[in-house]
Amino acid sequence: MSPRSPGLDPALSVLAGTMGRMNIMLFHSTYGPRPAVRAAADRLRAAGHEVWTPDLFEGRTFETVEEGMAFNDGIGKEELLRRAVLAAAPYSDRGLVYAGFSLGASIAQTLALGDEKARGLLLLHGTSDIAESASVDELPVQLHVAEPDPFETDDWLSAWYLQMGKAGADVEIYRYAGAGHLYTDPDLPDYDEEAAEATWRVALGFLDSL
């Protein structure tokens, strides 16, 4: 695994309606559809992209990760995936970029690996298991994660990177030393402004390259 430096500043696509416009399905974290998710979608739209933010929790938001995880467990993984698939289905023919925060990233990964028309996968703060049968055709994947991260350990990320490569994905990983797990949310204790802004600079450059 060869992490990239978060200090890179790729050229950004900021004109709406350009050839680089992507259709992005952005999934929220286990905290629910908090303001940070809407702010992220607005940032992406300002860069010229079409963005959808499915509400998988039916409006519920949470102040702690423990509360969110308990609610998530009550819904169940299969039901969450069903809701996500239903949300993405009307737009999948457009060639979606799947993206998400933490729990939402794991959902985005599952959907992207099962969608042959997926244009890319942007993972913020999370990953998921990879089926042995998973196969993609050089799917562009970018992961942004804290270093260290209690939910994304070094051993796990090394194995994940190798499995994604085996599945055919073209993966970039960016690590942010000292940041909290969900460091892009300004309303959480995890927030790290420098890491968050670096993440968005790189992520927008990634989307511009697709």
CATH 3.40.50.1820 given to domain 20-208: yes
Give the N- to C-terminal CA distance of the chain in Å, as an integer: 22
Tens digit of pLDDT for each residue in 37-68? 999 999 999 999 999 999 999 999 999 999 99
Tens digit of pLDDT for each residue in 72-119? 999 999 999 999 999 999 999 999 999 999 999 999 999 999 999 999
In the chain, % of residues over pLDDT 70 = 90
**Structure tokens, 198:** 């670096």
Closest to 9 in 3D by CA, of 207, 166, 205, 208:
205
Confidence of residue 10 (pLDDT cuts 50, 70, 90): very low
Write down how long the chain is.
210
| Global model pTM greater than 0.85 | yes
Give the pairing of strands 170-177 and 23-27. unpaired
| 3-state DSSP percent of the chain in helix, strand and coil, to 5 | 40, 20, 40
pLDDT, greater one: 17 or 101: 101
122: pLDDT strictly greater than 90: yes
Collapsed DSSP state (helix, strand, coil) of residue 157: helix
Tens digit of pLDDT for each residue in 140-179? 999 999 999 999 999 999 999 999 999 999 999 999 999 9
The predicted structure's pLDDT at residue 188: 96
The predicted structure's pLDDT at residue 8: 36
pLDDT mean over 180-188 = 97
Looking at residue 71, its amino acid is F
Collapsed DSSP state (helix, strand, coil) of residue 21: coil
The predicted structure's pLDDT at residue 20: 65
